[in-house]
Structure 1
């Protein structure tokens, strides 16, 4: 079980809430967990708690604080899913990555140094990719980031390890879109791309109807190994 902390926005427009999960001892590194369009809900908080149990300082910022602070819905409830799709149209990726930069700085201050990784899901997967292109984060992991094709012109800026997970049956990221991602990133030795057959978007949810245990456990294991290697 974690607590909350506030982080000041870099543009001076206010501060936002961050769910914080602390390890039992000194953190080996920090991992920033970036939400889906459903807010810092129970699933995202559990992911942060799980990283803390592995010895990391885990931080999950409220990415919707500028227009829907405290947003928290369940994707298994159709009405809440529909509301989330409406809410996310207000999200600005450029402002979002600024907020992530603020959390990166806060994480390093909390540890008085140390490496920082980012893992993001859905919308957060796009943010994780942008963190690799626009920040000095030490390692990034993105799960099914549908926005990534919009920012492939920035791929040349990736200079730290990036791991991307995609579902082969993703209803939001077509095979054509994944092909463009491969074309832009396969030549970069910092980038690894994994695809999972027979599963759809959201397969690595913490729980619920969208989760596919077989694929999720493989992807989660790869993510743990990735961070263990690059944040040590």
Structure 2
């Protein structure tokens, strides 16, 4: 996450990454495979959905004086980005492989949203992605020939070509909606 934040900061954006898991396990640092992945899912279950939105709202309030605010999330954060778009006041939201977006697809976004999914994602059934696309045809939803975590260099499913294309699309979207 820090590396992704550094990349957007290098592009000229003010960036904040709330430590969402600190509410249930302060200071936790997790990898993206094996036991860390399992532990992350357990923490996510303890956390629920309302607590992360409180932390996202706090981050939005920090950034609001700088200008328009967009949220970008990956995996669990991709679902949090969707919920942020539907429940909070932001100018744009981008979700990468948000596994629970389909569970909340009936909630109407209050801002423009962009979604990215891998076609071979072992954690998100393609039927869930299809359901999102069918229910929200007005939202740009891109599919990539890659698995879950295709944007993360630290994951076994990292797919450089898909990551580059998704980042390019994300930057274009962010520039369009927040400058």
In the superposition, the TM-score normalised over structure 1's length comes to 0.73
Shift of 1:228: 1.3
Matching of residue 171 in structure 1 with residue 122 in structure 2: yes
1:184 aligns with 2:135: yes
Rg: which structure is higher?
1
Query: Partner residue of 1:38?
Result: none
SS of the residue 2:26 aligns to: coil
Please state how far the C-alpha of 1:88 moved relative to its aligned partner. Answer: 2.2
Report Cα offsets for 1:84-111 as digits up to 9, x if no partner. Answer: 23222212112211221121111113x2
- Cα separation, 2, equivalents of 1:63 and 1:46: 17
SS in 2 for 1:141: strand
Q: Deviation per CA, 1:22-60, whole angstroms, max 9, x where unpaired?
A: xxxxxxxxxxxxxxxxxxxxxx00111111111111100
The aligned residue for residue 72 of structure 1 is 29
Classify the secondary structure of the residue corresponding to 2:140. strand
What does residue 97 of structure 2 align with? 144
Q: Could you tell me which residue of structure 2 aligns to residue 106 of structure 1?
A: 62
Tell me which protein shows more helix as a share of its residues. 2
C-alpha distance in 1, partners of 2:103/2:46?
A: 17
**Equivalent in the alignment of 1:203:** 150
1:135-194 Cα shifts (integer Å, max 9, x gaps): 121111000000111112213xx23211000111111111211121112111x3xx2110
Partner residue in 2 for 1:57 = 14
Q: Residue 174 of structure 2 aligns with which residue?
A: 227
* 5+ residue gaps, structure 2: none
Q: Which has more strand, going by share of residues?
A: 1
Task: Confirm or deny that 1:92 pairs with 2:86.
Answer: no
2-structure distance, mates of 1:200, 1:208: 10
Report the Cα offset of residue 122 of structure 1.
0.4
